[in-house]
Amino acid sequence: MGTPGSARSLPLLQEVLALTDLPVLAAGGIATGRAMAGMLVAGAAGVWIGTALLSCTEGLNGAAARLRIREADGDGTVLTRAFDVAEGIAWPERWPGRALVNDFSRAWHGREAELVSDDAARQLVVDGRRTGDPAHAPLYAGEAVGMVRAERSATDVVRELTADAETALRAVPGLLG
């Protein structure tokens, strides 16, 4: 199925649906009701929303992290293992995480083999996570981060996504004449 992280949601969903008759949740890049409706029409049984909820008031992210999310765009993310390596997390290599680009990822993304033996660099991430230092702490977010522009409640986000998806789905019969 290609390199993890390289397949976009819709092509990956089609591949997975072709392999199983089990219900499948679509994930990745779903931050609007239209995207949600598109995945449901394409055959997903439901959607998994992540990034669209990162600036919610109920989240565990601090105010500074929520602000960084609202100021970010999709081009400001990187698919990397650098943070996992720095923190000594035994996460499988084939599943890197997408995070907002910061000083640490600029310096160490693609150099994970060197990072393993650089205790001082690794400590920057450990300390950055503890103190909330945006230059070194990971802040995981998907490419749809550019769609997140307001700090709202999770209830409001889910209600808006659902209402917009319903509107998009109700428009489908009109496309068929």
Whole-model pTM: value is 0.88
Helix 33-41 vs helix 9-19: crossing angle, to nearest 10 = 30
Distance, in Å, from the CA atom of 104 to the CA atom of 132, rounded to the nearest integer, reads: 13
Tokens for 139?
């802040």
- Give me the residue spans of the domains in the chain: 1-72+147-177, 74-140
pLDDT digits (tens, 9 = 90+) for 102-139: 999 999 999 999 999 999 999 999 999 999 999 999 99
Whether the CB-CB separation of 78 and 104 falls below 8 Å is answered with: no
Question: Is the pLDDT confidence value at 5 over 60?
Answer: no
Question: Is the pLDDT confidence value at 34 over 60?
Answer: yes
Summarize the confidence of residues 165-169 as an average pLDDT: 97
In the chain, at which residue ranges do the beta strands (DSSP E only) sit?
25-27, 46-48, 77-80, 97-100
Amino acid identity for residue 36 in this structure: M
pLDDT digits (tens, 9 = 90+) for 55-107: 999 999 899 999 999 999 989 999 999 999 999 999 899 989 999 999 999 99
pLDDT digits (tens, 9 = 90+) for 10-33: 999 999 999 999 999 999 999 999
The pLDDT score that the predictor gives to residue 75 is 92
Report angle CA 22, 42, 10 to the nearest 5 degrees.
Answer: 95
**Can you give the three-state secondary structure of 135-174, one letter per residue?**
CCCCCECCHHHHHCCCCCCHHHHHHHHHHHHHHHHHHHHH
Question: Is the pLDDT confidence value at 176 over 90?
Answer: no
Whether the CB-CB separation of 122 and 134 falls below 8 Å is answered with: no
Distance, in Å, from the CA atom of 100 to the CA atom of 102, rounded to the nearest integer, reads: 6
